[in-house]
Amino acid sequence: MAKRIVIVGGVAAGASAAAKARRTSEDIEIVLLEGGPYISFANCGLPYWLGGEIAQRDALLEMTAESFARRFHVDVRVNTAATATDRQKRTVAVQASDGRQEQIGYDRLILATGAEAIRPPIQGLDRDDVFHLRTIPDVEAINLCIDRKTAAAPGQPVRALVVGGGYIGIEAAEQLARRGLKVTLVEMADQLMLGLDREMAFPLQEALTKAGCEVLTGQAVSEIIARDQGAIAITAAGREVPFDLAIVATGVRPNVALARAAGLSLGTTGAIKVDRFQRTSDAVVYAAGDNSQVPHAVLGRHAYIPLAGAANKAGRVAGANAALDLMGASDEDDRRIHLAGVLGTAIVRAGEMTAAVAGLTETAARAEELPVAVTYMVGMHHAGYYPGARRLVVKLVYSPDDGRLLGAQVVGPVGVDKRIDVLATAIQAGLAVEDLEQLDLSYAPPFGTAKDVVVLAGFAASNTRRGQMPAITPVELLEELTGPSPPAVLDVRSAAEYAAGHLDGAIHIPVDELRARINEVPSDRPVVVHCGAGYRSYLAQRILTNRGFSNVRNILGGFGLIQQVRKALGKG
């Protein structure tokens, strides 16, 4: 009798596990259980189907249950939920949507139960016009609600409330606004996207506002009350937000009910604890995807990172190793694979702005009490003389001791994806900022610059580490300017740039005039120097240093980033 793998959950990790197990062996039986009506669907595309950028639902169906079963010779059972496991008997109790119940035996079990939406403790949240955005049926229900509200009040925009300012909340707000709804996004934290540092997240808020959304940060919805023509959300600060439908996107937590009931060990994150082969505390039970922990590539310990890329890779690992177990392979077998490490690389778009992150943010690194240094670099996404060049901001987080990259963030309208993927690869490889200087990246005017902004960021960070460019961040600058001994600020931009906006009290000397006017620069106190992006100020810093000035720092990112930080911190 053939050995059997039973997989609970049929989306990212589960489908990947089933496909990899079959590619590993033709001789095992594979049963794939999915509680919903669809397997292997692109849930990350749901907001874009909601907004109409993806026109057809079927575009999200990477494979149907029938096509998956046929291609991989897998017994696929949709609308079939696993309700319990008996580890002693090695059985899974299942119940189909029509009420049929069954016990299915297994030789290896893979739990790919994913994550579940966090439902915040908001009074009045249990309404039929309040939704999550996690499945195809969720979007179908939202669409029906929009159609119903539109029919009830022709010519009036449907009012949408989005609770939560993370990935799904931002994408939902953007797409509902694109569809013509009047959108209010409410986030209880003082910024959107807590996975980014505050100053790097702020452009997303500006972009959503420009796209027509009202964005309320630092406010939590405390209560929802019914009204004749809809409902009103009331924030803790007393703000009233009327809405016709609401989407709750306040994050997810690992769906570990089945694992907990089976007595499997959970990790410190609350997700299922697994080893490098994705085995749980029971050697014949595996777990993969958003229900389980992953090794963090920077921190060197397990973390909870519920993202599609990691889920698919973990599912592949679980499927391969479960099949190899049944083939009699040892743990030392060269065919064994494992998940080396996850960075949490992610990207999000809000209107005309895109932001991405890989590895640790400065905030996260400091929370881990790691020694941290940062640098910012502003550059164009392709050659400035080629039409359509747009501004990018790169932030590097690195170890001041050895220069090893800990994390990176990139924000801009175009070209963010290319840069974050280069940086994620560098972090995964354990590269230092000095290694970024040597990257050999492609260049032609429509695609990039001769010195890419990632390479320039490496230049800046390396120069700082070598002592050639002592630096100060915009956040540090604002703190020092309000302190007891503020530094002198030297603005080396052109006269036109200075006239368009400048810091109060700044000394203005264009860089090309600095040598002739160097006596105007104070020599009795620290000097900080800035331009528009950081290059001219670096030149000015070198002129001053070579002329004997001993305490000159370059303001990273230039005037534009200073202004961005001021607004992000509510100081501008």
Q: Is 309 inside any structural domain? A: yes
Cβ burial of 507 (10 Å; 0-12, 13-18, 19+) is middle
Cβ burial of 222 (10 Å; 0-12, 13-18, 19+) is middle
Q: Is 335 inside any structural domain? A: no
Regions in the chain scoring below 70 on pLDDT: 572
Contact 347, 355 (CB under 8 A): yes
Whether residue 203 is found in the same domain as residue 297: no
- pLDDT, position 86: 96
Question: How is residue 220 annotated by DSSP?
Answer: -
Q: How many angstroms separate the Cα of 271 from the Cα of each of 18, 120, 266, 281, 287?
A: 22, 19, 6, 13, 10
DSSP track, 48-83: HHHHTSS--GGGGBSS-HHHHHHHHT-EEESSEEEE
Cα–Cα nearest to 490, from 509, 477, 515: 509
Cα–Cα nearest to 271, from 299, 303, 317, 314: 303
Q: Is 52 inside any structural domain? A: yes
- pLDDT, position 227: 79
Of 230, 250, 270, which residue is a domain's last? Answer: 250
441: containing domain = 352-465
- pLDDT, position 481: 93
- pLDDT, position 572: 64
CATH number, residue 193: 3.50.50.60
Whether residue 181 is found in the same domain as residue 241: yes
- pLDDT, position 570: 85
Of 235, 250, 265, which residue is a domain's last? Answer: 250
Predicted confidence (pLDDT) per residue in 113-148, tens digit: 999 999 999 999 999 999 999 999 999 999 999 999
Q: Is 122 inside any structural domain? A: no
Of 465, 484, 499, which residue is a domain's last? Answer: 465
- pLDDT, position 442: 97
Angle, CA of 300, 305 and 307, to the nearest 5°: 135
Strands (E), 337-470: 346-350, 353-359, 373-380, 391-398, 405-412
Q: Is 321 inside any structural domain? A: yes
Whether residue 145 is found in the same domain as residue 235: yes
- Strand order from edge to edge, sheet including 552-555: 471-472, 552-555, 527-530, 488-491, 507-508
SS3 state at 351? coil
Predicted confidence (pLDDT) per residue in 36-45, tens digit: 999 988 889 9
Tally of structural domains, the chain: 4
The terminus-to-terminus CA distance of the chain in angstroms comes to 72
